[in-house]
Structure 1
Amino acid sequence: MNHPKLEPLDEPLDVPPEHYPSLNPNPNPNPSLNESAPPAETNGMEIMKYTGPNTDDEILNPDALAIVPVPEETQISAAEPSSRKKPKRSAELVRVTNLEMEEEMYFRELVRKTRMLFSSLWIYVMNEGEDRRRLVNMRMVRTRGDLRAAAIMRDSGLWLNRDKRIVGPIPGVNVGDVFMFRMELCVLGIHGQTQAGIDYLSSSQSSNGEPVATSVIVSGGYEDDEDQGDVIVYTGHGGQDGNSRQVVHQKLEGGNLGMERSMHYGIEVRVVRGFKYKGCTSGKIYVYDGIYKIEDSWFEIGKSGFGVFKFKLVRMEGQPEMGSVMFKLAERIRDNPIEARPVGYVSLDISNKKENVSVFLFNDIDDNHDPLSYDYLVKTVFPPFVYHNAGFGGGCKCVDGCESGCLCAKKNGGELAYDKNGLLLRGKPLIFECGPFCSCSSMCGNRVSQKGVKNNLEVFRSVETGWGVRSLNLIQAGSFICEYTGVVLSRDQARLFTMNGEDSLVYPYRFGEKWAEWGDFSKVFEDYKRPSYPIVPPLEFAMDVSRMRNVACYMSHSSCPNVFVQLVMFDHSNVAFPHLMLFAMEDIPPLRELSLDYGAGGEWAEKLSICN
């Protein structure tokens, strides 16, 4: 009965290659997501042996070798290749400190790409499984999509932080980051146990024969847990039956001993909170809430009458607000914004009910109410000539629901653009949704972006970016967010506009091709080819947002964005004038700022002033 502190996991991680998706697994996997080596400065970052609670001028007890010493020449390199297909986790505990801004951006981008690959791969394998079940009259091997995605990435050497086991913060992982699946925590090296709530270095791996805990997952699985946010009374593992009831005394071994030893040596642990969340496909999410110190431990009789080990965890100061707190705040705002934040709300809906949901305007910094000065534009206004022969070629004739063989799917290269949950399967140069000339119903799964905003969005005033946009809901990777709207001008009209001194034009071609990163499986499938169909002519039009605009216009610029532009067609057939639809590149938690890559160049940077 002395089992680890577990969460449900009814499938093994080892997924046979024959059950991988239809694309062939890469027999010679590239073990890194990096396009190139990290910046030169990365090689000089400080990797330190942890010195417990001592100050810099104190000497660590040489006998207290709870952490394996790291030679000076040892560096942590996310790009370091591995010759092993399934490398075991390292027993070398290190801490990463003193990262420069460029290094932090490098690791953040590495984590972003890894997360994006996991999310898009999960969507792909799940959809591939549905297709197979429809086409093949046989029982498919029952394996969860997150396990399949993780196994494929592991076999391709794409799991991060395997060469070193990091104590404290993981480079590139921010407090508040949200994850749909526990396996993603393993892929990133945040928490290496697929089920156990305590991740620790075993006594057999430690240099002095003592286990050391590095992270815990708090998910309310034990009745004796007490979670007050900054202070947690965490119950050790073991002693439960299959119904999560405490039935025997716990023992001071394994993860429990690791927690006690980490407290003894002053080693902090990462804390991830797991809780149920409506509206996401996994049904449960995990939020990284930062670093905690283990300040006390004791043994007592629990609520069920059996002895349990308890550990008092106290959150360390100087960290950003906990992600779990932001989730609760966002929920209160959705229910009653004025009560949740009495000061700051300028408008509870700048769209004037033109959107499906309210778009809030919040400013607790100054008296700027500029977004109220514009007419809210829900959909892009195209010139009349764009709609000439709008129904050329006709639409699909599907009645019972669109399949991969329908006309619109053929326009997309032989597949529908979205899965059954409306998540984008992969980015493409252009996507055709079913439209007014199709016979399918309004509930068709190939009608996603045209249905408008589903998440409560908030335009807010920011010291850093001027105006910004954030969501009050969790936005899942691959989800549609909103359209980037404006009044479309031809090239000649744009020239006249700029000659008159107007600087409120947005040039769609400058958004670049971030769409190509969503669903880029080149690191795991050797036969992967970047989508090149449908072919789109150069986008030579501009959009005027000087009088009419929508919430998208206030999104800030970032070279490491969490939103990308996908070109979409549905209401006309002129491919030179597509809709600019915005999708999430990663799982975006509530109240985190949404950002776009508007493109490089001083000229475009000046254009950002039109919205900020």
Structure 2
Amino acid sequence: MEGATKQHFFFHGLPGREAEKSKCHFCQIRSFTTHAEYPITITNIHDELVLEPGFRFVQNSHLGRGVQRANDEFRVGCDCQDAEECQYEGCTCLDELEGSDEEPDEDNIRYRRKKYAYHSHGVKAGHLRTEVLESRDPIYECHDGCACGPDCPNRVVERGRKLPLQIFRTENRGWGVKSPVDINTGQFIDKYLGEIITPKEAARRRAKSDISQRKDVYLFALDKFSDPESPDERLRGPPLEVDGEFMSGPTRFINHSCDPNLRIFARVGDHADKHIHDLAFFAIRDIAKGTELTFDYVDGVEDSQNDAMNPATTKDMTPCLCGSKKCRGYLW
């Protein structure tokens, strides 16, 4: 680890080091547009291991071969003139958002219905509302195709990560992630990024992997809207998948826990691109600074608890090392 940091800090500012710099993880994260305000750091006090040399940090997911976004003629966005109209006057981006609550207007005289997934006022502004946080419902946001503007409160994930993160070497579970600042319940952490690939390519990569379970750690299906009856043919068949093994952001290094403090939510911007929805991490409880960030790799998968208790299935399952009181004993 010391050798890697020495190479970066003492040599990567010199001319002729461009090829070397392009492969340097420290140079990659320092090139992020958010680095000055919300830096990503990497530390290891346990051994001399460094991140996999072939891994590359990216700020956005990359579309793999055969993956396409919707054509321009199918793209949609709201025509709201401001955030007030977005929140209360029937924003088209929120048509499919389930649930709502009531909030007093400026004069505290009457109550109006709101549909944001987020709190829009006070200290909780930008945090997921409780009923959304406790569900597994998708989040619908305004986006760059909308008229409401970049300051619209319904663009939390779109505006990106707003807190620093540290990738660190754990004692027994490889690399992990924590933050040097306190995190509040409902706060957005970051997206899971990677190469978005076809189901066929995902199957090929799994088959090629020496240990298929290891590959599954980095592959996430974009299946939130999969439906054999969907009028959108892209949602009727097997879903696309995000592979973060070779390129991703810091969330790629978040470990599993059977009692996690984060949850992944599907986030939709342009409704025409539901087949390429975002995977967004949010805190499901308050997290003190320096606490390892975790999520449940099999969150929402039924019968995982029963499988972990069945000797006939546990012989082929991956042991869990989360150490929580609710540990199921096995991952999958």
Instruction: Please tell me the TM-score bracket, short chain as reference.
Output: 0.5 to 0.7
SS of the residue 1:568 aligns to: strand
Residue in 2 that maps onto 1:380:
61
Q: 1:438 aligns with which of 140, 146, 171?
A: 146
Query: For residues 548 and 395 of structure 1, what CA distance do their matches in structure 2 show?
Result: 30
Q: 1:351 and 2:51 equivalent?
A: no
* 8 Å Cα contact 1:349-1:358 kept in structure 2: no
The structure showing larger relative contact order (alpha-carbon pairs under 8 Å, at least 6 residues apart) is: 2
Distance 1:423 1:459, change over 3 A: same
Q: TM-score, normalised by structure 1?
A: 0.36
Deviations 1:479-538 (A, max 9, x none): 1000011111211111222233365353435999xxxxxxxxxxxxxxxxxxxxxxx878
* 8 Å Cα contact 1:355-1:453 kept in structure 2: no
Q: 1:569 aligns with which of 258, 268, 279?
A: 268
User: Between Structure 1 and Structure 2, how many residues are aligned?
Assistant: 240
Query: For residues 389 and 360 of structure 1, what CA distance do their matches in structure 2 show?
Result: 38
Q: What displacement does 1:348 show?
A: 6.6
Q: What does 1:518-557 align with in structure 2 at a 5 Å threshold? A: 540-557=239-256
Identity across aligned pairs (percent)?
25
Q: 1:448 and 2:156 equivalent?
A: yes
Q: TM-score, normalised by structure 2?
A: 0.64
Q: 1:361 and 2:45 equivalent?
A: no
SS of the residue 1:575 aligns to: helix
Question: Cα RMSD over matched residues?
Answer: 3.2
SS of the residue 1:451 aligns to: coil
* 8 Å Cα contact 1:377-1:548 kept in structure 2: yes
Q: What displacement does 1:431 show?
A: 1.6
Q: What does 1:144-183 align with in structure 2 at a 5 Å threshold? A: none
Aligned partner letter, 1:370: L
Deviations 1:144-163 (A, max 9, x none): xxxxxxxxxxxxxxxxxxxx
Residue in 2 that maps onto 1:416:
116
Distance 1:471 1:539, change over 3 A: farther
SS of the residue 1:411 aligns to: coil
Query: For residues 241 and 80 of structure 2, what CA distance do their matches in structure 1 show?
Result: 35
Deviates more, 1:350-359 or 1:447-456: 350-359
Deviations 1:86-119 (A, max 9, x none): xxxxxxxxxxxxxxxxxxxxxxxxxxxxxxxxxx
* 8 Å Cα contact 1:511-1:565 kept in structure 2: no
* 8 Å Cα contact 2:199-2:238 kept in structure 1: no
Q: What displacement does 1:372 show?
A: 5.9
Q: 2:79 aligns with which of 364, 379, 397?
A: 397
Distance 1:539 1:449, change over 3 A: farther
Residue in 2 that maps onto 1:467:
175
Gaps of 5+ in 1: 1-345, 513-535
Query: Which is higher, the Rg of structure 1 or of structure 2?
Result: 1
Q: What displacement does 1:547 show?
A: 2.0
* 8 Å Cα contact 1:399-1:440 kept in structure 2: yes
SS of the residue 1:543 aligns to: strand
Residue in 2 that maps onto 1:207:
none
Query: For residues 454 and 470 of structure 1, what CA distance do their matches in structure 2 show?
Result: 14
SS of the residue 1:360 aligns to: strand
Query: For residues 541 and 555 of structure 1, what CA distance do their matches in structure 2 show?
Result: 22
